[in-house]
Amino acid sequence: MTDKSRVTFLIVDDDSVAVMAIKRTLRKLRLTNPVEVARDGQEALDLLQGNGISPIKKPYIILLDLNMPRMSGLEFLAVVREDKELANSVVFVLTTSDAPSDIAAAYRHKIAGYIVKENASETISTAISMLDSYTEIVSFDK
């Protein structure tokens, strides 16, 4: 449990209800990992690269929405995969878009999974329970 709790979840989503839903699901699953929230890609980059603030400690899992202002999820992914420090980050795309073009574009950026927020709480719940097992792998990795 101690190992697991060290993995930080970075939620990148501009929709506060979506963030609430994720947090609520994590709480329901009794995951006590630290949770950071960024409202768009740029903010998430600032958090990860420590631009003006202290960067998020590794290990972390990024839960990324695609459709956001300023810097979209796909743009964020492109920058992350170019950045040497961040290139190996574990990223799950958690979005409302089930457009095949979005899914294909996301997988081209080597994401760990693509979760469609179809039926809000249920899908998020199953998705995050899947994440739960993934956090263990990440923590072993460290």
Partner 1 sequence: MGRRSLLFRLRAGAIFLVFSGLFSLCGVWYTLDWLGGKAKDLTTETSSLLQVTRKIPEMSLKVGSFPARLLDSTQTAELAEMRRETQITFSEIIPLASLVGENEGLDFKSGQSAFQDLLAVQEKFIAESTKIDALVNAEILRLNRMSRAIRQARSSVMLDFVTAAAETSERQSSVNVLFEFSEFESNVTTLIVLTQSLPTLPAEAALGLRSNVIRQIDAMTTTLGRLPESSERSALAKDMNNYRAAFLGLGGGFDMVVTLVTLEQSRRALLDQAIGFVGTLVDWSENVTSKSTADFEMALVNIQNRIAAARSIGVTVTLFFWIGCVLLFWYLLEMRLFRRLAGITGHIREMNDGHLSTALRVSGNDEVGEVEEAVDRARILARDLTDRNEELHRFAYVAAHDLRAPLRAVKSLISWTIEDHGDVLPDEARENLDTMDARLTRLSELLAALLDYARAGQVEEEIGVFDLTEFASDLRQVYFPDKNFEILIAGIPPVIETYPTPIQTILLNLVSNAIKHHDRPDGRIVLDAAFTPTGMRFRVSDDGPGIPKKYQDRIFVLFQTLKSRDDVEGSGLGLALIQKLAISFGGSVFVLSNPEVARGCVFEVHLPFGAAVKPFTPKEIAA
CB 105 within 8 A of CB 97: no
Q: Minimum Å distance from CB 41 to partner 1?
A: 17
Is 96 an interacting residue with respect to partner 1 (CB under 8 A)? yes
Is 105 an interacting residue with respect to partner 1 (CB under 8 A)? no
Is 99 an interacting residue with respect to partner 1 (CB under 8 A)? yes
Cis peptide before 59 (omega within 30 of 0): yes
H helix intervals, 6-142: 16-28, 41-49, 73-82, 100-108, 120-141
Residue 84 CB neighbour total at 10 angstroms: 6
User: Where does residue 38 fall: left (phi above 0), alpha (psi -120 to 50 degrees), or beta otherwise?
Assistant: beta
Among 7, 18, 68, 106, binds partner 1 (CB under 8 A): 18
Is 125 an interacting residue with respect to partner 1 (CB under 8 A)? no
Query: Which window, 1-9, 16-24, 36-44, 83-91, contacts partner 1 (CB under 8 A)?
Result: 16-24
Site for partner 1 in 32-61 (CB under 8 A): none
Among 120, 129, 134, 139, binds partner 1 (CB under 8 A): 120
Integer Cα distance of 86 and 96 in angstroms: 25
Q: How far, CA to CA in Å, does 106 sit from each of 23, 78, 125?
A: 23, 9, 21
Among 49, 67, 125, 129, binds partner 1 (CB under 8 A): 67
Among 1, 2, 82, 100, binds partner 1 (CB under 8 A): 100
Where on the chain is the footprint of partner 1 (CB under 8 A)? Answer: 15, 17-18, 20-21, 24, 67, 96-97, 99-100, 117, 120-121
